[in-house]
Structure 1
Amino acid sequence: MRLSKRLDGLEKKLAKYRMRLLRLKRKKDDKTENRREAIRKQITEFLLDDENSRLTAGKKETITRRQVKKQIRLLNDSLFNLHKTFLNKTGVIVSYETFRRCRPFWVVLPKAASRNTCLCALHANNDFIAQALHKAKILPYSSATDVAKSLCCNKILSVSCLERKCLQCRSKDIDIDSTDLSDTIIYQRWITKNVTVTTRGQEKQCKKTIKETVRTTQRLLIQVFRSNLPKFMQHLANIINQFKAVRFIKHNMSPSEGLLHIDFSENYGCKYGEEVQSAHFGGSKAQLSLHTCVYYSSDSHPPENRVKATSFCTVSENLRHDPVLICAHLKPVIEKMKSLTPALSFLHILSDGPSTQYRNKTMFFMIAKYISKISQADTIIWHFSEAGHGKGAPDGVGGCIKRVCDNAVANGKDITGIDGFFECLKHNIKNINIIRIDDEFVDEIQQLAAACKLRPFRGTFQIHQIAWSKIKPDLLQARRLSCITCPAYVECPHYKLGQIIMPSVTSLRTQSTRAHSEQLNYVPDLSNSAASSPVRYSFDSTGHVSSGHSYPPRPASSNSDPPRPASSNSNPPSPASSNSHPPRPTPSPLTPDASTVTGPRTPPTPEPPTHIPEPLTPRKRPYFRNTFCDDSDLAPKKIKKNIATLNIDDDSDEDIF
């Protein structure tokens, strides 16, 4: 009895002290957990710093864990080196295992395939400057885009704010701490330089794009950044406007409209499943040119429309990427498009803007004279994306095709040419239309492109939209940005650059040298004309030039000598058939028929004219404003500087393509 009472008293005392022990243990655990949480937070902040990791830009470069979606960040160094930097910078003592375990799940190690190899040079160089100024605690932003946002209304990028046309934010300036700017600063930049290269004992000059480190003063770097900012903001405005225009076209597409997004993929190098060393390192493997397209169409009117995407890839053994081959690649694609959209009358084409491929004078001519005919559309509007920002769906088509072919090669299949390429894709890809391009109609397109020699449009690099309409088939509207409100046949008041007037192919083929000489009041040198021209030139007894045909003599003007009598021989002998030539008088303008001075072939002999031409009088040369000049390329070289140039604000006068 006494023992049981004693045990009950001990249990009550233990229960009393047990609660105290639990409270002490819980307090100790909470303190440890808080310390762990503080260390984890420090490690997270350290790894999320732009100095230690970089943020990816792709909209699909995300990672999800436990229903939490984050944008992927790539480490700038190995975790082992970053652990050492963390210990030296923070003074917190943690093991490498704890540092590795506390790494956020969206901060990952970079791979070779995760390199960004298509950066915009303008973005990259301005970001380098912003990062250097931010690291020196001069600029509160670490990227040039954030600086541009700070100068816009509500920190939202818009075209009017970026072009400094907004009355509310046009007077804003960047926030810079200018207390002491005399120190030196180091930053990086991409630059193209002339580099001396020694090849087989000979030194040659070539251009190379390199990434160099520059040391300068803080004040000078701020001046460079301020001078670059207007151009960078206009660059952002162009990007935003082009993306908005394409998005609007997709959302408001009708059954009579279509959008074709095109781009050249990198040439595919054919491979063997197994190769000897000389075949692997030599240049004996063929390449194939891939032109990828994505066509967007709709079966109903908005807002009930549902946009459908159809992928195409045209393959050719011809590795040219000029306008002639672009039209050859587009011809079968447009035929497929007309079957997908029978009522196609409004065609949009979207591409990037390299001057050797899509944005040049030859391509402008082919839009009006070739693509308009094979598409049979009433309106064609070509949109160009901003430089350095032309990636899109066609690049995914090219990547998918190359991945399938590389997997087949990894399994032992040989792809040695275009036949093996088609055989591989025929059994493995069903959602992409693969079309083979032969050279059977390339010659026809080449003749059409060569028939018109146009002068370059001054301001070609500023063009982001070319509009053609059936209402004015010989007129193209050149616009600075894509306009979705103005019709294709009117001059856009929002983004107009000028008008491109297409000369007819027939007029170019029949443009005579005499007519050109009359316009410019120029007397050509005929000393070597007979040897270099397909037209046979000779001198008749009157001293006039003849091309093997009978022409009446030229009447004399009031300031010249009396006219000489015409020769009785209507067809005088050529210089090749006579032993001597009559003395050559003062040269007069050339008077052969227009059809006999152009083209490599010798035309049939025309009938002699029955009328006597009027005396030649110099006439004033017309001025073509913002147009291509019909006969500019037929002018002699030494007086070509007198030909009227186009009136465009851009000062660049490079010969595009």
Structure 2
Amino acid sequence: METRKVEKKCCDPFSKHGKKTGKGVSVICLDLSDSVFTATGNIRLIPGKKLCPRCFKQAKDFLNDENIEPIFDQRDMICDSPLNSIDDDYNLNMPVTPRKVISVLADAFVISPIENITRLSKERRLNVFEKVMDSVKRNVMTESDGLPNFTLEDYSLLMTELRDKIKPVLCLLLFFQSPSLPPASWTQAETASYFGVSLAAAAKASALKRENGGILPNVKSSIKRKGSVTKDDERRIIEFYTSDEYSRQLPGMKNVKSVKQSNGKRLKIQKRLLLVNIDELHRNYKKKLNADGLKVFGLSIFATLRPAHVITVGSSGTHSGYQPSSLGPEFDSQGFLRKPVIYNQWHSHGQRHLSSKIKSSGTHSVRVCVYHQNVKLMLAAIHVVERHYFMDKLVCSVYNQAYMMERCSSCPGPERLREFLLDLTEEEGDEIIYKKWTQTDSSNLETITEEKDEFKESMVKVVGNLTKHHFIARSQSAYFANCKANIDHDSCVLVSDFSENFAFIIQDAIQGYYWMNEHTTLLPFMAYMKKEDGSPFNIPICVKSNHLTHDTLTVHAFLRPVLSHLKEINPLIKKVIYFTDGAASQYKNKKNFANLCSHEADFGLKAEWHFFASCHGKSACDGIGGTLKRLARLASLQRHSSNQITNPEQLFLGAKENVDNSKTFYVSSDVVKNNAATIERRMGEAVVVQGTRSLYCYIPINSFQLKASPLSGPESDFKVYDVLPNRNIFDLNTYELDLQLADLQHKEKKGIQTIRAIGEFLELMQAKQKTAIEKGPYLKQKQVNLLLSALHPNSSDPPV
């Protein structure tokens, strides 16, 4: 409590001065105020104010009256020590009360004079008393008699010796370990000046003091109590948070979190948006670990171990896509714990790191599923939040493939949903207004007004159309997680998705540069592999190019350096399992299927291609693109006069030099065009696969056929499709001609026909190895018949 300035003039309590007030000499104490009030009954002198000699004499006359005794409040606390007044002649041998203590403190200018304390409430008087006692502790009270009575010189000598002890650089660690040595009232500048250390060291010592809460760090016991969280337990919980089933990585270059590492340094990690609430995630966690026979922890520990970069939907308002609820046992699987990409230079040029608090204000999520979002908007119009989107009212079980994909005779059907909606919308008005995403020439959020009956029919229709899509989305996501968990060391799961083109930015650029900005194509990859000992590892890759067309030909050209790099890392790799979204211009088209059948001939690796459900293709590769763009943008803005990043080549070189643990390749537009010329014939002869949009799993059989299924997995219903126009094609990959040629080398006298056939075959094989012409992998039927007749001249069977 701060001290207030005392009035210098007389307070004139007896109205003796009129307009001209004399100078105050004597300060009113509490005893004098009580005596005057007892004598007059209506005059209350305010303690702390002053009286002139005339008024003080009149007030003192009241004390000399022997018939007047001081009045004490029964609520006053009696003390053991006497209190003397300000005048030597005035001495009352009476107990000390709290009011008298307040008077003395006011006289000593320790606290401000307190006026009209009798009019305050009980709570207010208690608050005043607490403030008074705090002021007494700071300014009046001394240590108890049991402690040594140190003088100021003793404290100064102690601080000087400590300063001399920790002043050497080698002993600076002692300063950090004893951060509360400086008084609490010292600023960081005063601490640094006294101990001869830098401001940074003083700031770190202050932070350690707040963290440890004492003069020395808290001693951590090496004895683990029963039920404590081990490293493996913590890893399993983090894996659940970072699994693609329950969270997705955000692609934006601003979607980043600065997280403090165990070594004290901060690392920027791409954010992940949690698709379910923590309570639902914890239920799935218990279900999974109980099935595996592992130890399960409660919700409080589970929530405490949530990684800082895994954020929830905050109060700022977000709209995410579908939120998968607790999956059935057939969908239980776990993803790998991804290691964050480490960056060494681009992220260290004077950045101000963000706070790594667990709480988050949320984020803005875009590019979500239109099918699920429209159902959510209709449910919001009638104030309903339902995790199954009313699909459980249409089918027997939302976890059964037959019910969700086709229905059965026992499924409730639309009538049950109509009856349920009739009761649910009974209290609604005649018209219901809701929002809906429409996709015609563009995507728009429109406001729809419908009658109650029309709204119910619209709800039945959209929920009925959602069941198949919902099951496919969950099934494909579960199969992706299962592939990552159970992949062999000779295989690779490769996820890919084009990132938004990077627009170059220059510090202090002129106005016209904004309208002629150059772009760069980014195609990120995330490869999931295993070592021979079974330990998983991930390889983030990004291909940059000045070729701005995102199509199948670009994807095929970009795959060459990526797959070559994977074979260098793991020479035993034999198969690649692709997972992408269903973009028709890039992946889900007849040209890509023709390339898939020729994958082993082009790259020396077997392959199969799986697609996520529409609008559900978020993966780790989205975060790779966003991170690289963020670092490149920051690095370019920090270069004012030289070395600006203005073209794709400079972007590639900067990422190659400054980004660790992420492989970067550059493929020029000329390379893409040359690669397109080599497969031009194949692209022209590709055949459309009927029902492409409804199929999500494609596995090649040979160089001209593949099998496809609506769902991924060994139990899926596959059908065979042709991807090239002519079925009468000889497949070099399925007919062992090399064995026949080896047999011919040991035979003599085979005739001129055999020699010509072998010559044609060897020329075609040479062309195939060089991959210079498209007809390498394929032989016309006439050439095949000629070759087989030469190899089997005595055979009566017709050529195949």
TM-score (norm 2): 0.45
Cα separation, partners in 2 of 1:219 and 1:165, compared to 1, 3 Å: closer
Cα separation, partners in 2 of 1:497 and 1:224, compared to 1, 3 Å: farther
Q: Which residue of 1 aligns with 2:676?
A: 445
Amino acid aligned to 2:576? L
**Secondary structure of 1:326's partner?**
helix
Amino acid aligned to 2:583? P
1:183 deviates by 0.4
Match status 1:401 vs 2:628: yes
Equivalences for 1:415-454 in 2 at 5 Å? 415-438=645-668, 439-440=670-671, 442-451=673-682, 452-454=684-686
Preserved contact between residue 185 and residue 216 of structure 1 (Cα < 8 Å): yes
Match status 1:191 vs 2:438: yes
Amino acid aligned to 1:263? D
Cα separation, partners in 2 of 1:108 and 1:507, compared to 1, 3 Å: closer
Preserved contact between residue 360 and residue 460 of structure 1 (Cα < 8 Å): yes
Calculate percent identity across the aligned residue pairs: 19
Cα separation, partners in 2 of 1:366 and 1:432, compared to 1, 3 Å: same
Equivalences for 1:173-322 in 2 at 5 Å? 173-174=416-417, 175-178=420-423, 179=426, 183-193=430-440, 207-280=441-514, 282-283=515-516, 285-300=517-532, 305-322=534-551
Q: Which residue of 2 aligns with 1:148?
A: 391
Q: Which residue of 2 aligns with 1:123?
A: 372
Q: What is the distance in 2 between the residues matched to 1:241 and 1:453?
A: 33
1:179-230 alpha-carbon deviations (Å, 9 max, x no partner): 477701111111134xxxxxxxxxxxxx222111111111101101101112
Q: What is the distance in 2 between the residues matched to 1:455 and 1:239?
A: 27
Amino acid aligned to 1:210? N
Q: Which residue of 1 aligns with 2:51?
A: none
Q: Which residue of 2 aligns with 1:474?
A: 704
Alignment RMSD:
4.1
Unaligned runs of 5+ in 2: 1-73, 79-121, 127-245, 250-271, 279-299, 319-356, 731-773, 775-800
Q: Which residue of 2 aligns with 1:73?
A: 314
1:365 deviates by 0.7
Amino acid aligned to 2:609? W
Q: What is the distance in 2 between the residues matched to 1:170 and 1:164?
A: 13
Preserved contact between residue 294 and residue 394 of structure 1 (Cα < 8 Å): yes
Amino acid aligned to 2:405? E
Cα separation, partners in 2 of 1:224 and 1:253, compared to 1, 3 Å: same
1:118-146 alpha-carbon deviations (Å, 9 max, x no partner): 121111111111111x23xxxxx325744
Q: What is the distance in 1 between the residues matched to 2:680 and 2:727?
A: 10
Preserved contact between residue 685 and residue 724 of structure 2 (Cα < 8 Å): no
Equivalences for 1:41-190 in 2 at 5 Å? 60-61=272-273, 71-76=312-317, 114-132=363-381, 134-135=382-383, 141-143=384-386, 145-148=388-391, 157=399, 159-163=401-405, 165=407, 173-174=416-417, 175-178=420-423, 179=426, 183-190=430-437
Preserved contact between residue 493 and residue 578 of structure 2 (Cα < 8 Å): yes
Amino acid aligned to 2:690? R
Q: What is the distance in 2 between the residues matched to 1:481 and 1:165?
A: 16
Q: What is the distance in 1 between the residues matched to 2:511 and 2:633?
A: 19
Cα separation, partners in 2 of 1:391 and 1:353, compared to 1, 3 Å: same
Cα separation, partners in 2 of 1:466 and 1:399, compared to 1, 3 Å: same
Preserved contact between residue 74 and residue 107 of structure 1 (Cα < 8 Å): no
Cα separation, partners in 2 of 1:404 and 1:299, compared to 1, 3 Å: same
**Secondary structure of 2:432's partner?**
strand
1:113-171 alpha-carbon deviations (Å, 9 max, x no partner): x3222121111111111111x23xxxxx32574423566778x7554553365788656
Q: Which residue of 2 aligns with 1:361?
A: 590
Cα separation, partners in 2 of 1:341 and 1:167, compared to 1, 3 Å: farther
Amino acid aligned to 1:313? C
**Secondary structure of 1:279's partner?**
helix
Match status 1:458 vs 2:690: yes
Cα separation, partners in 2 of 1:426 and 1:441, compared to 1, 3 Å: closer
Report the more deviating stretch, 395-404 or 264-273: 264-273
Cα separation, partners in 2 of 1:71 and 1:318, compared to 1, 3 Å: closer
Amino acid aligned to 2:717? Y
Q: What is the distance in 2 between the residues matched to 1:61 and 1:323?
A: 30
1:325 deviates by 0.9
Match status 1:344 vs 2:591: no
1:346 deviates by 2.5
Q: What is the distance in 2 between the residues matched to 1:384 and 1:161?
A: 22
Amino acid aligned to 2:648? I
Match status 1:496 vs 2:718: yes
TM-score (norm 1): 0.54
Amino acid aligned to 1:115? H
Cα separation, partners in 2 of 1:350 and 1:234, compared to 1, 3 Å: same
1:216-248 alpha-carbon deviations (Å, 9 max, x no partner): 111101101101112211111011110111111
Q: What is the distance in 2 between the residues matched to 1:180 and 1:433?
A: 59
Q: What is the distance in 2 between the residues matched to 1:109 and 1:334?
A: 40
Q: What is the distance in 1 between the residues matched to 2:553 and 2:629?
A: 25
**Secondary structure of 2:562's partner?**
helix
Unaligned runs of 5+ in 1: 1-9, 15-24, 30-55, 78-104, 136-140, 194-206, 487-493, 509-598, 600-657
Q: What is the distance in 2 between the residues matched to 1:507 and 1:339?
A: 33
Amino acid aligned to 2:421? I
1:350 deviates by 0.7
Q: Which residue of 2 aligns with 1:373?
A: 601
Amino acid aligned to 1:241? S
Q: What is the distance in 1 between the residues matched to 2:618 and 2:473?
A: 12
Q: What is the distance in 1 between the residues matched to 2:604 and 2:527?
A: 17
Cα separation, partners in 2 of 1:300 and 1:500, compared to 1, 3 Å: same
Preserved contact between residue 687 and residue 725 of structure 2 (Cα < 8 Å): no
1:382 deviates by 0.2
Q: What is the distance in 2 between the residues matched to 1:217 and 1:340?
A: 62
**Secondary structure of 1:293's partner?**
strand
Q: What is the distance in 1 between the residues matched to 2:634 and 2:406?
A: 51
Preserved contact between residue 125 and residue 189 of structure 1 (Cα < 8 Å): yes
Amino acid aligned to 1:336? H
Preserved contact between residue 385 and residue 464 of structure 1 (Cα < 8 Å): yes
Cα separation, partners in 2 of 1:318 and 1:345, compared to 1, 3 Å: same
Larger Rg: 2
Equivalences for 1:636-651 in 2 at 5 Å? none
Preserved contact between residue 248 and residue 618 of structure 2 (Cα < 8 Å): no
**Secondary structure of 1:73's partner?**
coil
1:326 deviates by 0.6
Cα separation, partners in 2 of 1:75 and 1:292, compared to 1, 3 Å: closer
1:441 deviates by 5.8
Q: Which residue of 2 aligns with 1:571?
A: none
1:27-61 alpha-carbon deviations (Å, 9 max, x no partner): xx9xxxxxxxxxxxxxxxxxxxxxxxxxx975834
Preserved contact between residue 75 and residue 108 of structure 1 (Cα < 8 Å): no
Cα separation, partners in 2 of 1:240 and 1:219, compared to 1, 3 Å: same
Q: What is the distance in 2 between the residues matched to 1:415 and 1:209?
A: 34
Preserved contact between residue 547 and residue 672 of structure 2 (Cα < 8 Å): no
Equivalences for 1:615-634 in 2 at 5 Å? none
Amino acid aligned to 1:296? Y
Q: What is the distance in 1 between the residues matched to 2:504 and 2:728?
A: 43
Q: Which residue of 2 aligns with 1:386?
A: 613
Preserved contact between residue 182 and residue 219 of structure 1 (Cα < 8 Å): no
